[in-house]
Amino acid sequence: MKNNHLKSFLSSICIGLLSVAFYACSSSDGNNSNSFDRALMLQNYAEKMIIPAYANFQTQVNALQTANSTFQTTPNSANLANLQTAWLNAATAWQSANAFNFGPAGEQGLTKNLNEEIATFPVNTARIEFFISNNDVSFNNFERDTRGLMAVEYLLYESTQGVLSSANKRNYLNALIQQIKTRTDAVVTAWATYKSVFIANTGTDIGSSTSALYNEFVKSYENLKNFKVSLPLGKRAGQTQTEPTKVEAYYSARSFVLMKAHFTALENLWNASYGFRSYLENATGGADLVKNTTAQITAVKNVLNAIDNNSSFSQIIQNNPASLESLYVEMQKLTRFFKSDMSSILGIAITYDSGDGD
């Protein structure tokens, strides 16, 4: 009888201890995964941000193609000006889509992600001119710095007289825009079926939708910081001086317009309704990170907003690079919050090599 009571007592203790242990594990995991509806988060991103961003970019690319068709038919200064406006609209729209280089827009075989294929900078003008002189519009090479949006910019702004008078240059321009449209249309079409796959893949492991989205978000931010800001400022490893010609949109002097649009897009992605910010707020330690990240985003915005959109980034770098030091410093501070801290709290591994040491 006493043995039965003792067995019952010990059994109760064991069950209790197991229950506490199970609850503790469940609570810890729940803060980072189970209690947050990642399927809903992915659905929000797909339906409210990713697909609309690509659709808007497609619309602007179509407008760019229409303006180009008019210019090809009647290559005059007025039509060139309209084409330049259409290019800027398309390049600006791209900033809202360039963080979504996965799935249909990801690397596939010899084709790099969409950002590398259509938005590589700085462009290789010598090679562009070589292809133009040979009337080679096959793009049968890996020289991605000879095509895309920034190659279009070069022809529209640096070689304005050339594109007005040279049939070969207009031919190359036409092929550039057609290739951008072809690649964009393919991604937009593929997302119609990829959407359900994206939403259903709710894990956080490598290969999951959350991991892909998060990694491309951070990578997009680092591309902004490392290549649109640090590279021309001469802050990258191995650089010994500033390199003003390596800004994005060097020929049109629209670097700040695109830079601000890029940062705003990333802020919106992080701050989306039931998105990464909400995910962090439901994770242990996430509330403090949200507070710190929000403050640092504001610090970067304050620096960016103080810069006139019409200012030439390359000229400021050439004449007064110290005035841009605060932009570099504040963006560098934000890297930690977006990258190491956020990765740690959400338990999502960084799967790309930025070569940045952050």
Question: Distance between CA 327 and CA 304 in Å, rounded?
Answer: 7
Q: Structure tokens of 72? A: 């090809």
Low-confidence ranges of the chain (pLDDT < 50): 1-31, 33
Domain ranges of the chain: 32-201, 203-358
Inter-residue contact 48 to 167 (CB < 8 Å): no
Q: Give the CATH number of domain 32-201; options: 3.40.50.170, 2.30.30.30, 2.130.10.30, 1.20.1420.20.
A: 1.20.1420.20
Residue 34, C-beta contacts closer than 8 angstroms, at least 6 positions apart = 26
Task: Give the integer Cα–Cα distance in Å for 97 and 115.
Answer: 9
Crossing angle for the helix pair 38-45 and 167-200, to the nearest 10 degrees? 160
- pLDDT for 179: 98
pLDDT at 29: 40
pTM of the model: 0.89
pLDDT of residue 339: 97
pLDDT tens digits, residue range 124-161? 999 999 999 999 999 999 999 999 999 999 999 986 67
Q: Which of 275, 293, 274 is nearest to 342 (CA)?
A: 293
pLDDT at 323: 87
Structure tokens at 213: 């989205």
DSSP-derived letter for residue 122 is S
* Residue 111 phi, psi dihedral angles, 5° rounding: -85, 125
Measure the CA–CA gap between 210 and 341, rounded to whole angstroms. 16
**The two structure tokens encoding residue 287:** 């509330």
**What's the pLDDT at 354?**
62
CB 194 within 8 A of CB 201: no
Task: Tell me what pLDDT residue 294 has.
Answer: 98
Q: How many angstroms separate the CA atoms of 24 and 332, rounded?
A: 37
> Of 91, 113, 115, 101, which is closest to residue 256 (Cα–Cα)?
91
Q: How many CB atoms lie within 10 A of CB 206?
A: 11
C-beta of residue 262 within 8 angstroms of C-beta of residue 225? no
CB half-sphere exposure, 300, CA atoms < 13 A: 25
- pLDDT (0 to 100) of residue 218: 98
